[in-house]
Structure 1
């Protein structure tokens, strides 16, 4: 009698946990977030304002415009992968009294379709709201999708209002004000599960205005976009070391609230700027120029992305590598204070 041995059954493979670099969230583990705040805010506003329309360049899901599409399908226009046509069509809609919100990735709105944004929208001063997703270092997909220079490009465009929100609160409050603004706007979109932090600071978004979120006698952090969240976290950590830190949030990059910046830089506090953007042509240079033009001779310490094409990878790793993480900010401030 011949005996046989059953073949060994391989153990089930462990499921590999993966995170899409494209849609990765910059929220901290356990942090309070709001899903798709821009999409929901636009859909709510459209209930009151029938002239609002939404457009996308085949990226509705990745710009949270799909929320608007599902709520108002008859007022949504899918333009396909044609960003120049997207902005040109939005300009035509604005010419006949509609209020378009045109969404795509920031790299495509700025690098690929700049001429259409500039001459079709900004030059005639049309009420078109360009919504740019994945601004700065909010994706790990590398230079083709990292819009690290969009502020530098668009700050030079006449007539254009540029907004860089911190969180879901900023986004929800900014949408109605952008729609009511007479001229064109560019919004650096935070999409997906967006942190919610500013409602703890008695904050209200006001287009064109900065807001002091914390007072402090040793350091002032002048920040914009998601870096305001990091500035607030850094201020709390530094407080444990008896370093008193003020935080000035600058959600509108253009027009810049120069009076608030000059006031914040008064005295002998260390002045640090924080932005999710290249160090060239963004908030740091805007603040430095504002102080120089006003005759305020102050040194400005910039915390920003380097003037280079960035690597691909996981967002936490990239933020550590390029100095945008909370720990990196704390270390930089401590170093500056000891020099």
Structure 2
């Protein structure tokens, strides 16, 4: 039974978070909300973000191909009193701009929203462009709020809610069109509060970002075996909803995390720490990218190779439950 209306039977409905959040920025600007926007040379004029920039050039800054400088410019604008959104090519955000994120943005606790695109292996550019260690870095930086929306419309909600949210924020999104998770926007959303989107008593699947959809499809696959999985959308990695994890461990006795990130230091690491420190006896498994540079291939094939697809996730769950 679904706890909210999800697109469980419409898994081919695709939306681009980059397009939807660009449209949301335009709406917010049209409504008179005051913010600035910084980007590199990665915004197409034909995109919704490009059209927003064309309509409001006075509040937009293009720094060219210089991501570290881009984050520094965003910090300067925030120090002048602006809420700042900055779209940064995801592979370079946590690597090239790590010092600026840490010292310019986080240390000064500035209202900058860094939108990192091409999360996980969605860049299609191979191991050097896979964004699989960013959450581990971000989690360790004080003051950072980290949000990984489950779908494009949720990304728009994060962008809007972030206008009144204190401090700096990372918004982690995929490269392009991703399956919609929610049938509509009529569900309660709050940064820092997980959403139970499918009820179940046999185990809990916890996903973040694009992996939430994988979890839903895996739950559907598990139903064929009479296994009923709770599915949690952990859209916020920091601050983390510990109670959702503790309740899941107590009530279902088995927790599996699924993420488009290394199994080290991301969602799985966070959940493991919480369960271990709680002393709750529960089976646990992390599913994600292993501790290696991922294979080169088409994105769907990479996911399949590592078992990050509905049938693969369901098989891992069945093996865990047998132990």
| Structure 2 length-normalised TM | 0.91
Q: Which digits, 9 at most, give the CA deviation of each residue in 1:255-287, with x for residues without a partner? A: 101111111111353211111100000111100
Alpha-carbon deviation of 1:200? 5.8
Quote the Cα distance in structure 2 between the aligned partners of 1:41 and 1:295. Answer: 43
Alpha-carbon deviation of 1:67? 4.1
Quote the Cα distance in structure 1 between the aligned partners of 2:137 and 2:221. Answer: 34
Quote the Cα distance in structure 2 between the aligned partners of 1:121 and 1:251. Answer: 22
Quote the Cα distance in structure 2 between the aligned partners of 1:202 and 1:50. Answer: 23
Quote the Cα distance in structure 1 between the aligned partners of 2:48 and 2:141. Answer: 26
- Indicate yes or no: 2:119 matched with 1:135: yes
Spell out the pairing of 1:150-229 with structure 2 (5 A cutoff): 150-199=134-183, 203-229=187-213
Alpha-carbon deviation of 1:291? 1.6
Partner SS for 2:213: helix
- Indicate yes or no: 2:246 matched with 1:262: yes
- Indicate yes or no: 2:78 matched with 1:94: yes
Query: Which shows bigger deviation, 102-111 or 56-65?
Result: 56-65
Query: What does residue 10 of structure 1 align with?
Result: none
Judging changes above 3 Å, is the alpha-carbon distance between structure 1 residues 154 and 30 closer, same or farther for their aligned structure 2 residues? Answer: closer
Query: What does residue 20 of structure 1 align with?
Result: none
Query: What does residue 34 of structure 1 align with?
Result: 15
Quote the Cα distance in structure 1 between the aligned partners of 2:60 and 2:261. Answer: 31
Partner SS for 1:308: coil
Number of equivalences? 312
Q: Which digits, 9 at most, give the CA deviation of each residue in 1:148-175, with x for residues without a partner? A: 0000011000000000111112112111
Judging changes above 3 Å, is the alpha-carbon distance between structure 1 residues 164 and 121 closer, same or farther for their aligned structure 2 residues? Answer: same
Contact 1:210 1:250 in 2 (8 A): yes
Query: What does residue 270 of structure 2 align with?
Result: 286
Query: What does residue 48 of structure 1 align with?
Result: 31
Query: Which shows bigger deviation, 55-64 or 229-238?
Result: 55-64
Contact 2:147 2:238 in 1 (8 A): yes
Alpha-carbon deviation of 1:49? 3.9
Contact 2:37 2:84 in 1 (8 A): yes
Judging changes above 3 Å, is the alpha-carbon distance between structure 1 residues 297 and 242 closer, same or farther for their aligned structure 2 residues? Answer: closer
Alpha-carbon deviation of 1:195? 2.4
Partner SS for 1:157: coil
Judging changes above 3 Å, is the alpha-carbon distance between structure 1 residues 150 and 75 closer, same or farther for their aligned structure 2 residues? Answer: same
Query: Which shows bigger deviation, 80-89 or 193-202?
Result: 193-202
- Indicate yes or no: 2:58 matched with 1:74: yes
C-alpha RMSD of the superposition? 2.1
Quote the Cα distance in structure 2 between the aligned partners of 1:242 and 1:93. Answer: 55
Alpha-carbon deviation of 1:201? 9.1
Structure 1 residue ranges without an equivalent (≥5): 1-27
Judging changes above 3 Å, is the alpha-carbon distance between structure 1 residues 288 and 316 closer, same or farther for their aligned structure 2 residues? Answer: same
Contact 2:74 2:112 in 1 (8 A): yes
Q: Which digits, 9 at most, give the CA deviation of each residue in 1:172-211, with x for residues without a partner? A: 2111112221200001023533322223695332101101
Quote the Cα distance in structure 1 between the aligned partners of 2:288 and 2:20. Answer: 26
Partner SS for 1:106: coil
Spell out the pairing of 1:323-338 with structure 2 (5 A cutoff): 323-338=307-322
Higher-Rg structure is: 1
Structure 2 residue ranges without an equivalent (≥5): 1-8
